[in-house]
Structure formats: structure tokens, C-alpha cells
Amino acid sequence: MTTIRTRFAPSPTGYLHIGGARTALFNWLFARRNQGTFILRIEDTDVERSTQESVQAILDGLTWLGLTWDEGPYYQSRRLELYQRHVQQLLQAGKAYRCYCSPEELEAKRKQALQEGRKPRYDGKCRDLKEEPVGKPYAVRFKTPQTGSIHVHDLIRGDIIYENAELDDLIIQRSDGMPTYNFCVVVDDVTMDITHVIRGDDHLNNTPRQILLYEAFGYPIPRFAHVPMILGSDKTRLSKRHGATSVLAYKEMGYLPQALVNYLVRLGWAYGDQEIFSLSELIEKFSLENVGKAPAIFNPEKLLWLNHHYIKAAEPAELAKLLIPFLEKKGFKAQEGPWLTQVVRTLQERSKTLVEMADQAEFYFKEPATYQEKAVQKFFKKETAEVLSELVVALERLEPFEEGELEKVFRSIVDRKGLKLAEVAQPVRIALTGGTASPGLFEIMAILGKEQVLKRIRRAVESMKQAHN
């Protein structure tokens, strides 16, 4: 039985974007589902636009998503000799030819074709030259058959027929000696034994040209699967105006990789009505048969909902590790351990991203600089200062300083004073956090500890006294 071999082959001319990440994910899942091999290839023959920074961003993005590759990364820029050997092979077989037409000539022919309402294409001037000029620069073109058709059987889109007469004589090597994209792809996929080419449907029109090259070499043709585009909410191609498109931007925005993976797989693939999948479930259930033909619509709100789900379901200790960089960005020193894990546990239900969680955790690391004005007007009354002063005395004596014991102290005071719990709890909450919305009061008091709680309540009492003098 043939081993399934898939590949992800990005060009390092920018970051790893959402569309590329989904293509990588589909290839990775298909390989894992079939006990196959997932290969990473960097298509960096565009020397002017390719950068090492982009390469690193692609590697970092895939690693963060957990899409580990089995082979590679292979770099096209290091395989030029291999491509040149294959160009010579076609020249010697009479299946390619040298084209001496200058860029100016080709541009003039293109303009003329457009003016005459014809499809711009090479007119074959150099296809059957009897004598070739000496010392003149040349590109190498593939001799596309002028009759017949190419039958593409696509695993997602079905059967598509292309007439050879509609195809140009493809340049396979430029005049500077660099091979072109469509040629490199074929040589790479053959020499890397790729069995399935899974890619975006913007590559569909390249497929007949590539099949002709496979046939010219006598190589086996892989199976093709072209996945639909990802569009924004306005049904136009996904771009920055629809929100972040870089995978690592979502990392910086506090998204969890498993949430993004889960969201990406549902952009074009479905398994009944199920929305949430673990990675092991995806490997078990993924198939190309369930990839749709229609474009997928990117919905940031759905992604945020999924991220909230994964934050709520995460182990607090693991989440605490991930939260540390976000806290440090806010200037807080934080380290792994039971205390930070407790902090995270109080915030999981309330936080949709790690950025939100770091924002909401602020009061654990520093006293509130100010109190919410409406909260002060409602709860910081003259008589409240007296009640909180009594509370301070009771808390000073309290041991252990734990949730259950803290609640008893509060209940005792409100019963003795004939107050509602909120009349004491809310002013304390404001004193500790700066506002009226926070995790459970007794939880946060226990986490903050006696010293910090007393300090903050005393400060609030002073604030009340000054306001009502």
C-alpha cells in the first residue's frame, strides 16, 4: 500500500495567514488520518520578496498551532541544480525550447492582443526556430500540446476539462536562469513522492499546466484537492479590513492554538452539526469528502466564542503558564505556581482571551489607582466607613484567612447591623478591585491575602471619611 504523503508549501513573502494555516491543517490532518507523512517545503525562489523573517514567522506559526512536520523544511533555493537538470531533460527531449523574445516584444504582443480583443498568449515565435541566435539571452518554454485536453479529477470539485489549445507555452526557466513556480512545484512533488496535493482553489488553473509537465517527464500524477477560498463577512476575499489575518497575531491577541485549529478546520469542513473537536477527534474524523465546494465565511465572533470555550475548559495551571507573557507585557512580575493558578481559576469563566484575562487580573497585582465613580456614589456612604472599620478589626483577628471563614465574618457583621450582604460586600469589592464586577469576593480575598486586603480596605475607609467630612 502506498504511503500517503502531503505537503504544505508556503512562499516566505509575509506572515503565515489564516488561509495558509487552514491549508497546512488540512494537509496535516489528511496525513495523520491515513498514517502518512506531512512535509514542509519553503518555496523561496522569488529572491526579491522572500525573507528569512517570513520563513521564521511561518515556522513559528505552524509550531504554535501544533502542526509538526515529519520532513523538511526543504528550501527551493537550495535545489536549483535539480531544477536545471530537469529543464535540460525537457530541452533534450524536444519538449521545451529556448525563447529569445525580449520583455519589450512580449509586452507589445500582449497589448496588441488586448486591443484586438484576443486572449493575451505567446504566439510561438521561437517554438520551431531553425537557427538559434548566439549569445542572446533566452528563457525556456515548455512545448504545450496544441491539441487534445487535460482531464483534472479533483477530490473536492469533481471532474474539470481544460483544452490544451487554451493554454500558453509556459516559461519554465527565466532568462536569469531561475526556474518558475509551476515547474519547481512539479519537480519537487515528484522527487518528494507527494501523493496528494491539497491546496487553495486559487491554484486550480495551475493544475492542467502541471499535469502536462508530469506527463512530459513520464512521472505519476498525484491526486489533487482544491479547497474553497476563505471570504470576509462581505463575501470578498479575506483581508486585513476583516480583522487580523496573521496566525501569530491571534497568539498576540490571547487566543489559544487549539481554538484557532478548531475554528480553521470548520472553515470548509464539517462533521454533522458538531462544532467542537479535540485534535484526536479531528484526526479520527477528517476526510476530504466532507470538505465543501462553497467559499467559507470568516466569522471573528465565532472564533471568539470557541476561544472562550477552550479557556473555560483548560487546566488552570496550564493556562497560568500561557498567561505570564501577557501579565509581563502589562509590567507585572508573575511566575508559575499555586498562587497564579488560583488567580486563573477565578477568571476563566469571565475571560474570552488571555489579553482579557490579564486585564481582569490587574487588581491581583496592584491596588486600584481609582474607584469607579458610579460605584463610589452608590456604595461609599458615610455609614459604610464605620461598618468597614469594624470589618477590619474582625479580619485582623481572623485565622485561617480562607473563603469559608471570611464568609462567616461577613454574615456575622450584616446580621448584627441588620444589613444586606451586598451593602458590605460591594464596598469591599470596590476597595479591593476598583469596581463592582469581579470574581467571587471571598475567593479574591483569600488569594490577595490578609495583609493586602486590610491595606486596601483601610485606604477605602480613609477615602470615604475624606469624602464625607
Q: Identify the CA nearest to 201 among candidates 26, 68, 3.
A: 26
Rounded distance between C-alpha atoms, residue 214 and residue 137, angstroms: 27
Where b means 16+ CB within 10 Å and e means fewer, 250-280 reads: bbebbbbbbbbbbbbbbbbbebeeeeebeee
Query: Residue 88: what residue type?
Result: Q
Q: Are 254 and 356 in contact (CB under 8 A)?
A: yes
- For residue 202, the Cα-to-chain-centroid distance in whole angstroms is 19
Cα–Cα distance list, 139 to 99, 107, 358, 465 (Å)? 5, 15, 57, 86
Catalytic residue, chosen from 111, 125, 240, 420, is 240
Contacts of 424 (CB under 8 A, 6+ apart): 387, 388, 391, 410, 413, 414, 417
Unique residue bearing C-alpha cell 477528517: 286
Q: Are 353 and 300 in contact (CB under 8 A)?
A: no
Question: 240 catalytic, yes or no?
Answer: yes
DSSP character for 31?
A: H
Enumerate the H helices of 218-353 as residue ranges: 247-252, 257-265, 279-285, 300-313, 316-329, 338-347
Rounded distance between C-alpha atoms, residue 251 and residue 267, angstroms: 19
Query: Residue 119: what residue type?
Result: K
DSSP-derived 3-state class of residue 120? coil
The Cβ of residue 417 has, within 10 Å, a number of other Cβ atoms equal to 14
Q: Which residues are catalytic?
A: 240
